[in-house]
Each structure stands twice: as C-alpha cells, then as structure tokens.
Amino acid sequence: MASRSRFPWHILVFILPGFIIYTLFSAWPLLDTMFLSLFKQASSGERVFSGLANYQELLSDPHLSEGFWNALWNNFKFFLVHVLVQNPIGLLLAALLSLKGLHGAKTYRTLIFIPTLLSVVVIGFTWQLILSPLWGITPNFLKSIGLGTWFQPWLGQEHTALLTLALISVWQFVGVPMMLIYASLIAIPDELIDAARVDGASAMRIFWQIKLPLIVPTLGLVTILTFIGNFNAFDLIYAVKGVLAGPNFSTDILGSYFYRTFFGAQSSLGSPTMGATVATVMFLIILMGVMIYFYVVQRRIHRYQL
C-alpha cells in the first residue's frame, strides 16, 4: 500500500489547531512573562535587560516589598482558612451525603452546590449586603439569638476583613471538595462497608478507619487544587474591596497585588515588567506546591486498588 509511507498529515491536522491556540495564548505567554521579568521598562517604553534586578526590588525594596510580603502572608492565611474550614466541611458533607440509604441525598447535593456555580462577583456583593451594618440582616439575626453585641462590620475592619473574605470564599467553594470527596467515597465498594458492619464497626469507626484512609489521595488532590485556586484568586477581593484591597491592604493577596503592580492604582503607575515579575513569583509558588504534591503526597500515599 502506497499510503503507508505517506506523511501522516491527519495527525498534524488533529494536533495543530489546539496546539497553536494553546501555545500562543497560554504556554508562550507564561514563558514570555518569565522572560519579561528580566527586563526593565524605561519611560520611553524601551525595555532593557536587567537580570534579576526586578526580583531584588520586589523582595527587598521597601516601596515594593512591603506590599509583596503583605500580600504573600495574607495569601497564606487565606489558604490556611480554606484548608482548615473548607476542606473539613466538604469532607463532613460528603461523608454524610454518601451514607447508604440516606433519603434526599441528591437534593442536598444539588442545593449545596448552587453557590459554587455563581460568579464570585455576585457572591461578593451578596455577602457585602448581608454583612452590611446598614441593612441589618446580620446584626438583627445575632440579636435574635442573643449575640447582638458580637456584631462588627467585619468586612470593614482591618483585623477581620481578610478572614471574612476567606470565609465567604469557603462558603462559595465548599461544593468542590464536597463533590470530589463524595465521588471518591461512593467509589468505595458497598461490600467493604458491609464487611466492616459485620465486623461490628459503628458508622463513626467505618468513617475514620475504613473510608478516610481510602480517600486520602482525594484529600491531597483537593488540597492542591485549593492551593492553586487560592494563590491566583483575585475576583472576590476585587469585587468586594476593589483594587486597593482595603482597608489598608489588609485583604491584599497575590492576585490583587499582581493586578495593581501591572496596571497601577491611584498614584502608583503600573509596570508590565514588574507585573511579570510578580506573576513569575506566583508561578514559582504554585509550581512549588504542585511539585510538593507530586513528589511527597503522591509518592507516599498509596492508592489502593478498590
């Protein structure tokens, strides 16, 4: 057959369209951003190679670095709240939903997932309204359960704003760990649970000693996904707090800091090369997280054949 030796054009045809778009708008920009971070932009628009000067500036120049370290630290706190609140709640909900013979599990699952579908912008404004001292829904609610004095304008105070935003984000995205964990829980064969019941295990013991050890890989996956999501989060902060991530940058995280560095805000001018530097640092942080996940978590944690 002559066609055997012909160049396999069809493979090229299958690959090229996606490959070109992906390369041009995702892979190349990432690489180019890293490259760009090695330049400084003169006011004339001309770019001059400057080695690691941008990084030095970002990490140690008092003007820039203060904001960067603040954003990085805030971002870690933001992530920590997710790990400590979102994932346990997701796990709890998934564990309950996956109980065999529970009526209404599908309905709960469908309803609880709704916030995850809505845009962060909508969620941000919604909570802003609900927590607003002006409207009074929250203060009145707290009053009705006898905790009236607890109310504070949480989103407006420097020491509570970040935590409040993190909790709003948790509230929105709890559906993701819930679904992923739920999926891995229902993949555990029924007979295994039956065997544990025959062995006399209570629902609690079955959860802690049988189900949980078997879904550890999923918990690892959920954690790394949360990490990636948190370390390039932006929308919520921007929607609720605007580009300045107030009050006094107390809600500034890397995503919003990146945006400000790139485009500038109020008095400070934006800089593409400095923006690229921040983006590259974010890239490195995420890459580090991903590598830790693959090398430590994935290798140590055994995936059991179910």
Partner 1 sequence: MILAKAKQPFNVIAVHIVLLTYTFIALFPVFIILVNAFKSRKAIFNSPLALPNADTFSTIGFEKVLSKADFLLLFGNSLLVTVVSLFFIILFGAMLAWALSEYKFTGRTLLGLFMAIGIMIPIRLGTVSILEIVVALNLVNTRTALILVYIAQGLPMAIFILNEYMSQIPKELKEAARCDDVSEYQIFFSIILPLARPAIATVAVFSMIPIWNDLWFPLILAPGESTRTVTLGIQQFIGQFVTDWNAVLASLTLAVIPILLLYVFFSKQLIRGLTAGAVK
Partner 2 sequence: MASLSLRKINKRFGKVHVLHDLDLEIQDGEFVVFVGPSGCGKSTLLRLIAGLETISDGEMRIGDHIVNDLSPRERGIAMVFQSYALYPHMSVYKNMAFGLKIDGQNKQQIDQKIRDVASKLQLDSLLDRKPGQLSGGQRQRVAIGRAIVRDPKVFLFDEPLSNLDAALRLKMRIEIARLQKVLNTTTIYVTHDQVEAMTLADKIVVMNGGHIEQVGAPMELYNAPQNKFVAGFIGSPAMNFLVAGVSTDNNTNVITLANGQTLPTQQHLKHGTQLTLGIRPEHLSLYGAETDLAIEGQIESVERMGDITYIYFSMPGHDLITMAQQGDHQLPIGQIIRAYAKPEKIHLFDESGKAIKLS
Rank residues 7 and 62 by Cβ distance to partner 1 and give the closer one. Answer: 7
Mark residue 119 as left, alpha or beta (left: phi above 0; alpha: psi -120 to 50; beta: remaining).
beta
Q: How many helices (H) and strands (E) does the chain have?
A: 19, 4
Q: Given candidates 65, 77, 115, 244, which one binds partner 1 under the rule CB under 8 A? A: 115
Provide the minimum distance between the beta carbon of 121 and partner 1 in the complex, in angstroms, as a whole number: 5
Binding mask 282-301 for partner 1 (x = CB under 8 A): xx--xx--x-----------
Q: Cβ 35 to partner 1, closest distance in Å?
A: 8
Closest by Cα among 286, 284, 285, 241 to 260: 241
Q: Exposed/middle/buried for 1, CB within 10 Å: 0-12, 13-18, 19+? A: exposed
Residue number, 67 or 124, with CB nearest to partner 1? 124
Which residues neighbour 235 within 8 Å (Cβ) at sequence distance 6 or greater?
A: 119, 120, 121, 124
Does 78 participate in binding partner 1 (rule CB under 8 A)?
no
**Residue 198 three-state SS:** helix
Q: Does the footprint of partner 1 cover residue 55 (CB under 8 A)?
A: no
**Closest among 223, 195, 225, 226 to 211, alpha carbons compared:** 195
- Greatest Cα pair distance, the chain, in angstroms, is 86
191 binds, among partner 2, partner 1, none (CB under 5 to 8 A by kind): partner 2
Nearer residue to partner 2 within complex by CB, 188 or 228: 188
- What is the dihedral sign for C-alpha 74, 79, 80, 86? positive
Please give the angle made by the CA atoms of 258, 264 and 266, to the nearest 5 degrees. Answer: 130
Work out which of 2, 6, 11, 46 binds partner 1, going by CB under 8 A.
Answer: 11
Q: Which of residues 150-179 bind partner 1 (CB under 8 A)?
A: 171, 174, 179
E strand or H helix at 30, and its extent?
helix 28-36
**Residue 255 interacts with partner 1 (CB under 8 A)?**
yes
Contact stretch for partner 1 (CB under 8 A) within 50-58, 67-75, 256-264, 297-305:
256-264
Residues of the shown chain interacting with partner 2 in the complex, contacts defined by CB under 8 A: 189, 191-192, 194-201, 205, 209-210, 213-214, 302, 304-306
Q: Does 129 bind partner 1 (CB under 8 A)?
A: yes
Say how many residues make up the chain: 306
Regarding 14 and contact with partner 1 (CB under 8 A), the answer is yes
Interacting partner of 255 out of partner 1, partner 2, none (Cβ under 5 to 8 A depending on kind): partner 1
Question: 185 to 224, contacts with partner 1 by CB under 8 A?
Answer: 186-187, 197, 202-203, 206
